[in-house]
Amino acid sequence: MRQKIMLALTGMAALLLARNLYVIFLQLPDEIEQGAIYRIIFFHVPDAWTAFLCFFAAMVASVLYLARQDLKYDAFAASATEVGLAFGVANLVTGMIWGRVIWNIWWAWDARLTTMLVGLLIYAGYLMLRRAIEEPTERAKMAAVLSIFAFADVPVIFFSIRWWRNQQHPNAVVETGKMAPEMLRMLFTNWIPLLLLAVVFLMIRMEQERTQREIDALRRQVHSF
Amino acid sequence: MDSRNFAFMFYGFLAAWLILCAYVVSLASRERRLKREVERLRTLVEDKERAG
Amino acid sequence: MAVPALRGSLSFAGQSLTIAAKDLRSELRTKEALNSSLAFALVILVLFSFAFEPTQEETRQISGGLLWLVFAFAGALILNRSFARELTNDCLDALVAAPISGAALFAGKAVANLALLLAVELVSLPVFGVFYNVPWTQQFWSLMLVLLLGTWGLTVVGTMFSALTVNLRLRELMLPMLLYPIMIPGLLAAVELTTPLVMGQPLEGSLIPWLRLLAAFDVIFTALALALVETVLVR
C-alpha cells in the first residue's frame, strides 16, 4: 500500500515536472537582464520553501514528541530535518550558481542564502547530535529540544542578517522585484512536484526509522538469549 | 530563447537535480544496509529459538 | 560538593542564587575554568595581532568582531565546565533530585556563568586596549550594557547546550558546534553595537534596532531555555 502511494506520488511529480520544464523552457518569455539563467529560480526558490516547511514540520513533531513521548514523532522530526537539509543544499547550490552568473562571485553574503547557510549548519548539528546519543528516548528528547531552539532561531537569523546587509549595502537590489504573473504562477506550480518528492523522501525515511527500531528490538532479543 | 549564460543554467539545473539524486542514492544504500541487518537478526533469533 | 540544605520555602530566586553561589564558590576554589578561559582570551588577542598586524584605526573598525569572537571562544570553556563539573560522584543526579526546579538549577548556573564570563571580558577589554592601543572607554556605560546583554545571550543558550551535551563523549566539540550557529543573531547584534561604541559613537539612532534585536534574542531564548531545561535534565 505504502509502495503504491509512493509510486503514485513519484509518478505525479514526474509528470508535473515534465510539464513544467516544457513551460519553463519553451513558453515563458525571457528575462531582459539575466538571460537564460533566471529560469533556475523555479527550482531555487521552491527548494527553500520546501526546506523551511520541513524544518517547521520537524519542530512541530518535536513539540509533539515532548508532549506525547511517542517515538514515531521523533522519527518524523529526524526524517523531516534530513529531507529539509537535502532541499536546503539544493537551494544553496542553485543560489551560488545564479550568483556566479549575475554578480560574478560564488558567494555574496546576501541575506537569504546566508540565512539558509546558517540554518544548514544548525540542522547539520542536529543530525550530529542524534548520532552522538545512542539511547533512543534520550536521543529523541535532546534532539526535540534542539529542534525547537533551532526553528525559533530561524526568523531571528533572517531578520538580523537582512538588517546587517541593509546596513552594509543600502539599496542593494537583491530582490527579484516584480515578477510577471505567469512567472509567479510557475514558481508555485513548480513547488508542487518538489513537495510531492519531499513527501516521498519522508515516507522512505520514516520506513527506515521503523526498520531501525525493529533492528534495535531484535538486537535486544538476541542479547537476551 | 535567449542563449546567454546557457551553460551556467544547464549546470544549475544539473546541480539541483544531482543533489536530490545524491540524497536518493544515500536513502537507497541506507535501505539496503538496514534490510540486510534485519534479515541477519531475524535468522539469528529464529535459530536461537529453535535451539533453545 | 555539598548540596546545601534547601527548604521547600525558598523562592525561585532564592534557589537560583543558592545554586549560583555554589557554582561560583566551587569555581573560585580551583579557578580552573576561569584561568583557562582568560588565558585563551589573551592568547587569541595576541595571535590576532600577529596574524593581521592591524593599525590602530583598522582595529577600531573591527573591534566588535574581534572582541566577541574572543568572548565566544573563551566562553565555551566556561560553559562546558558548567554542567560537566557535576558529573563526578553523580552530583548531577543529586542536584536534579534535589527539591529545586530544573529551571532554578538552570538559572543559577546561568547566572554563575554570566558572572565568570563577564569577569573574563572585563579583564580582556583593558588588555585589548593596551595591546592594540585603542581607547575604548568613551562610551563606557553603554559598552557595559551591550556587554551584559550580549553575554547574557551567550550564557543562557550556552548553559542550556551545556546541559544538553553533558553526557556526550564529544562534549567539548559538540557544545561549540551547536552553540555558535544558534548564537549568530545575538553575536551579530553585539558586534554591530560594540564597534561603534568602541569608536566613540553614542548608543542612539541607527544602533537602537540592534539593541532591540539583542534584547529580543535574550528574552526569547531565556524563555525557551527555562521552559525546556527541565525536560533535558530529568532522566
Verify whether the Cβ–Cβ distance C184 to A142 is below 8 Å: no
What is the pTM assigned to this prediction? 0.89
Do A63 and A151 contact (CB within 8 A), yes or no?
no
Q: Output the CA–CA distances (angstroms, integers) from residue A97 to A68, A172, A185, A187, B23, in the order listed.
A: 43, 19, 23, 18, 20
Q: B36: which chain A residues are within 8 Å (Cβ-Cβ)?
A: none
For chain C, give the mean pLDDT. 90
For a pLDDT cut of 90, what percent of chain B falls above it? 0
Tens of pLDDT, residue by residue, chain A (225 residues): 888 888 999 898 989 888 888 888 776 666 666 666 777 888 899 999 999 999 999 999 999 999 999 999 999 999 999 999 999 999 999 999 888 888 888 898 888 899 999 999 999 999 999 999 988 899 999 999 999 999 999 999 999 998 888 877 665 544 555 567 777 888 888 899 999 999 999 999 999 999 888 888 888 888 876
Residue C164 has pLDDT above 60, yes or no: yes
In angstroms, the first-to-last Cα distance of chain A is: 35
Q: How far apart are CA C186 and CA C192, in angstroms?
A: 10
The closest CB to that of A40, out of B12, B27, B38, belongs to B12
The closest CB to that of B27, out of A37, A205, A222, belongs to A205
Q: A152: which chain C residues are within 8 Å (Cβ-Cβ)?
A: 220-221, 224
Which pLDDT value is given to residue A174?
A: 47
Verify whether the Cβ–Cβ distance A149 to C224 is below 8 Å: yes
Q: Is A184 left (phi over 0), alpha (psi -120 to 50) or beta?
A: alpha
Q: How far apart are CA C171 and CA C87, in angstroms?
A: 12
Banded model confidence at residue B42, pLDDT cuts 50, 70, 90: confident
* φ/ψ (deg, to 5) at C28: -70, -20
User: Which chains are adjacent to chain B, needing at least 3 Cβ pairs under 8 Å?
Assistant: A
Q: Most B CBs within 10 Å: which of A23, A218, A220, as the mutation test of the B interface?
A: A218
Query: Which chain A residue has the Cα nearest residue C164?
Result: A142
Which pLDDT value is given to residue B2?
A: 57
Q: A206: which chain B residues are within 8 Å (Cβ-Cβ)?
A: none
What are C210-220's pLDDT values in tens digits? 999 999 999 99
Which pLDDT value is given to residue A50?
A: 96
Do C82 and C162 contact (CB within 8 A), yes or no?
yes
Put simply, the chain A residues between 155 and 214 with a CB less than 8 A from any chain B CB are 197, 201, 204-205, 208, 211-212, 214
> What number of residues does chain A have?
225
Adjacent-strand bridge partners of A214? none
User: Which chains are adjacent to chain C, needing at least 3 Cβ pairs under 8 Å?
Assistant: A
* φ/ψ (deg, to 5) at A115: -60, -45
Which 3-state string (H, E, C) describes C83-132?
HHCCCHHHHHHHHHHCCCCHHHHHHHHHHHHHHHHHHHHHHHHHHHHHHC
User: Which chains are adjacent to chain A, needing at least 3 Cβ pairs under 8 Å?
Assistant: B, C
Chains B and A touch (3+ CB pairs under 8 A): yes
Q: Is C224 on the interface with A (CB under 8 A)?
A: yes
In this structure, the number of other CB atoms found within 10 A of the CB of residue C127 comes to 15
Instruction: Please choose, from the candidates A77, A90, A132, A34, the residue with its C-alpha nearest in 3D space to the C-alpha of residue C171.
Output: A132
What are A80-100's pLDDT values in tens digits? 999 999 999 999 999 998 888
Query: Which chain A residue has the Cα nearest residue B4?
Result: A35
Verify whether the Cβ–Cβ distance A36 to B31 is below 8 Å: no
The closest CB to that of A156, out of C160, C209, C220, belongs to C220
Q: Is A146 on the interface with C (CB under 8 A)?
A: yes
Q: Is C148 on the interface with A (CB under 8 A)?
A: no
| Complex ipTM | 0.89
Q: A145: which chain C residues are within 8 Å (Cβ-Cβ)?
A: 164, 228, 231-232
Q: How far apart are CA A53 and CA A51, in angstroms?
A: 5
What are C99-124's pLDDT values in tens digits? 888 899 999 999 999 999 999 999 99
Query: Which chain A residue has the Cα nearest residue B13?
Result: A40
Query: Which chain C residue has the Cα nearest residue A166?
Result: C206
Q: Is A34 on the interface with B (CB under 8 A)?
A: yes
Put simply, the chain C residues between 80 and 119 with a CB less than 8 A from any chain A CB are none
- Chain B residues with CB under 8 Å of a chain A CB are 1-6, 8-9, 11-13, 15-16, 19-20, 23-24, 27, 30-31, 34-35, 37-38, 41-42, 44-45, 48, 52
